[in-house]
Structure 1
Amino acid sequence: MRAPAHPRPTRRRGPNGLSVGLAVAALTAAAASTVGLAASAAEPLPNVNLILNGAFDSYPWIWTCDSNVRSSSIPHDHYVSGRPTAESNARCSQRVRVLPNSSYLLYATVRGPFAFVGVSGPAGESASTWSSESSWNTLTTRVTTGPDTTELTVYFHGWYEQASYDVRWVSFTGPGYEPHPCGEPTSPSPTATDGPASPTPSATCWRTYIP
């Protein structure tokens, strides 16, 4: 007597018509993809130098300077000199894009009495340091941005009615995007008799520089 045939097993299907096994696999893959995207989004940006023309040797000039700041006319030795007066501390500044809740390091090579460098921000961010050495030396200071801060001002200057100061190099490093200047040169490089040139902003470039 032949044994009764076993009924053929049927594959269970989910409410959308997919088999349960395929549905579970699809959900697992989607979850893994979501986790991967979240991990990518959380990756920190690399540290970059956010200052443009920190060596004072290129265009656009970018820096906003008082009229008593001049660029060196010595070939292959680029720096700026500030000559403070009773009314002006011979200041230059540059606004940079930053990220909230992030730490940044300001570095500068200076010489001369009372050479100040610093950074300030809209949420009360403030850090500065100074030197009175007659030879080239390095100044550094660090600042941390607030939860809503996306822009800081980096500056340097001398002191009222004091001797001239020089600045050869400025960098401001921390997490962010590599900056790209706006505009093209409109005049020759500043010399001992010419003030710093102003950039001509372009609507097609990423506006790291904010006039």
Structure 2
Amino acid sequence: MRAIVHHRPGRGRGRGGPSVGLAVAALLAAASSAGFATGAADPLPRAELVLNGAFDSYPWIWTCDGDVRRSSIPHDHYVSGYPTADSTARCSQRVRVLPNSGYLLNATVRGPFAFVGVTGAAGENASTWSGQGGWNDLSVGVSTGPETTELTVYFHGWYEQAPYDVRRMSFTGPGYEPRPCGEPGGPAPTVTGGPGSPSPPPSPSPTCWRTYIP
């Protein structure tokens, strides 16, 4: 009579053996490490990179050419530009950016031929415009090149056209919120409570610059 022998699964054999278990543990550890490394290299959050984009604080920061005036009504501030045959009444501001990154410009404007845009030394040019008589919102995106660390945000009207108004300029993307440095470029412009002839805003000092707040 033949004896029936029952073999117990030996330790170290079969699909549940220690060699497979160790391999799975190693894979899990590697995945965990990879996830941690990825989290450590997450990009910076989106920040507002324009200073005084609501035109309600000083130093003025914006550099303007031509006839540009700041007006104020209750709970609101805006800038008016008066183009001539020789000027588009343009204002601009330099902003710090990161290479190979995407940014978005948003503006609230009114009046015919109100232009807003962004320009950079590496050919980063993006702009849009409005011809509406009432307040309306404009948006345009721009991507920086591999070595770009600075862009210029601007707004203006058009030669010999009617005045335009800008109530808000916003430029957002990866980076840190800026802060003013240096001294203002002159006394604050006169603020009026309605239409009139306020003094044009002064240009900022060439030494005034924006820096990242770590």
Give 1:201 shift: 6.9
- 1:15 is aligned to none
Give 1:126 shift: 0.6
- The change in CA–CA distance for 1:175 and 1:98 in structure 2 (over 3 A counts) is same
CA–CA distance in 1 between the matches of 2:138 and 2:167? 12
Structure 2 gaps of 5+ residues are 1-32, 192-196
Listed one character per residue, the Cα deviations across residues 20-78 of structure 1 (whole Å, up to 9, x for unaligned) are: xxxxxxxxxxxxxx979954652210100100000001011000001301101434320
- 2:166 is aligned to 167
Aligned amino acid, residue 114 of structure 2: A
Aligned amino acid, residue 201 of structure 2: P
- The change in CA–CA distance for 1:65 and 1:202 in structure 2 (over 3 A counts) is closer
CA RMSD in angstroms comes to: 2.5
TM-score (norm 2): 0.74
Q: Is the 8 A contact 1:109 1:169 kept in 2?
A: yes
1:87 aligns with 2:115: no
Q: Is the 8 A contact 2:62 2:93 kept in 1?
A: yes
1:2-151 alignment runs, 5 A limit: 39=38, 42-151=41-150
- Alignment coverage as a number of residue pairs: 176
Structure 1 gaps of 5+ residues are 1-33
CA–CA distance in 1 between the matches of 2:144 and 2:101? 5
Give 1:184 shift: 4.7
Listed one character per residue, the Cα deviations across residues 169-201 of structure 1 (whole Å, up to 9, x for unaligned) are: 000000011101113554234434312134457
CA–CA distance in 2 between the matches of 1:36 and 1:104? 27
- The change in CA–CA distance for 1:202 and 1:151 in structure 2 (over 3 A counts) is closer
Listed one character per residue, the Cα deviations across residues 64-116 of structure 1 (whole Å, up to 9, x for unaligned) are: 00130110143432000000000001100000000000000000000000000
1:195-206 alignment runs, 5 A limit: 195-200=200-205
Q: Is the 8 A contact 1:60 1:182 kept in 2?
A: no
Identity of aligned residues (%): 70
Aligned amino acid, residue 85 of structure 1: T
1:176 aligns with 2:175: yes
Q: Is the 8 A contact 1:70 1:195 kept in 2?
A: yes
- 1:25 is aligned to none
Give 1:142 shift: 0.2
Q: Is the 8 A contact 2:58 2:188 kept in 1?
A: no
- The change in CA–CA distance for 1:138 and 1:157 in structure 2 (over 3 A counts) is same
